[in-house]
Amino acid sequence: MWADQEKSQVLMRQRRRLEESLAMDADLGRRVDDIQAYFDLAREGEAVVEELRKEIDQLREVADKLETQTLMSGEHDMRNAIVTIHPGAGGTESQDWAEMLLRLYLRWAERQGFSTEVNEYQPAEEAGIKSATFTVTGDYAYGQLLSEIGVHRLVRISPFDQAKRRHTSFASVFVSPEIDDSIQVDIKPEDLRIDTYRSGGKGGQHVNTTDSAVRITHIPTNIVVACQNERSQHKNRERAMKMLRSKLYEYELEKKRAISKKLEDSKLDIDFGSQIRSYVLHPYRLIKDHRTKLEVGDVDRVLDGDLRPFIRAFLVARRDGN
């Protein structure tokens, strides 16, 4: 096994997941025993109501987390995720909104204990971004971020409008599972257009003096991937090809799925009428998912990365066939 590093890494991840499952099973048993003990003490007249309530709340939180995992039973739900964000109608407003979404997802990943790597970051001229692609590494990253595929709509008082008028902005989010070399994807060299360019960004490692960044276009599908976070053009090209394989694999999967919502449905114009979720900051504060009808009033908490209610609602609706 140790002669094949990639195989050993896969096996070690499987082992870790099994160990975590066994530890969770033991933890659930301990929590149930503790609650039973508190009930016994309460029957004897002990003042343990607060402690009992705390234990039950903690058990409910663990149970909710486990139930969410059971809802992710798709073939690739456990994989890492590759996320791409593009601004839509709205100019500078939408470019700023796209960067807000980027921050939201990076904060969400941090809350989950996942690691992230920004593969491509194209800043806009005035504010925000033209596009960004990043990889989220962690168990069930793809299964959870499936809920985010589509167009996101923001309504707020514009910080770029001197008249302080209300503006509506749009940005799109696409998610693909990161696949490994065990899955074969046939890519013909003649179907690729490979461009190199100078990396840009906010400084530090993103600023290079050579054309090390790589952009690859798959001509038959018009799928475009880019990578600029490595200083070596060779490494950026290798990483971009891996991203392309993942996106092409997801593209082919979507064509084969016998469901009403296919990949092209999520590629509507990034404009009015195509959004999956609305984030309203003015004249009231509310975030509403138009697929599950879930509404959350704590806007700041969501924008700071708490997507749990929306992810759970989406997974439940998917299970129920809604």
Q: Is there a single domain that holds both residue 236 and residue 102?
A: yes
Q: Is there a single domain that holds both residue 14 and residue 89?
A: no
Q: Is there a single domain that holds both residue 128 and residue 231?
A: yes
Residue position matching structure tokens 């593969």: 119
Which pLDDT score is estimated for 200?
63
Q: What's the domain count of the chain?
A: 2
Q: Is 165 left (phi over 0), alpha (psi -120 to 50) or beta?
A: beta
Q: Is there a single domain that holds both residue 133 and residue 200?
A: yes
Closest alpha carbon to 71 in 302, 292, 304: 292
Q: Is there a single domain that holds both residue 193 and residue 278?
A: yes
Residue-range definition of the domain harbouring residue 145 = 76-322
Which pLDDT score is estimated for 267?
47
Per-residue pLDDT of 114-137, as tens digits, reads 999 998 899 988 889 999 999 999
Which pLDDT score is estimated for 105?
97
In sequence order, what DSSP letters do the residues of 131-168 get, joined into one string?
EEEEEEESTTHHHHHGGG-EEEEEEEE-TT-TT--EEE
User: How much is the average pLDDT of 66-80?
Assistant: 85
Which pLDDT score is estimated for 161?
81
Q: How confident is the model at residue 183 (pLDDT cuts 50, 70, 90)?
A: low
Q: Is there a single domain that holds both residue 81 and residue 222?
A: yes
Q: How confident is the model at residue 181 (pLDDT cuts 50, 70, 90)?
A: low
pTM score over 0.75: no
Is 204 within 8 Å of 109 (Cβ atoms)? no
The number of CA neighbours under 13 Å toward the Cβ of 58 is 13
Kindly state the helix (H) or strand (E) to which residue 120 belongs, with its residue range. strand 115-123
Q: Is there a single domain that holds both residue 191 and residue 264?
A: yes
Q: Is there a single domain that holds both residue 51 and residue 184?
A: no
Per-residue pLDDT of 237-295, as tens digits, reads 888 888 888 888 888 777 665 443 444 444 445 555 568 999 999 899 999 999 999 99
Q: CA–CA separation, 251 vs 13, rounded Å?
A: 26
Per-residue pLDDT of 20-49, as tens digits, reads 889 989 999 999 999 999 999 999 999 999
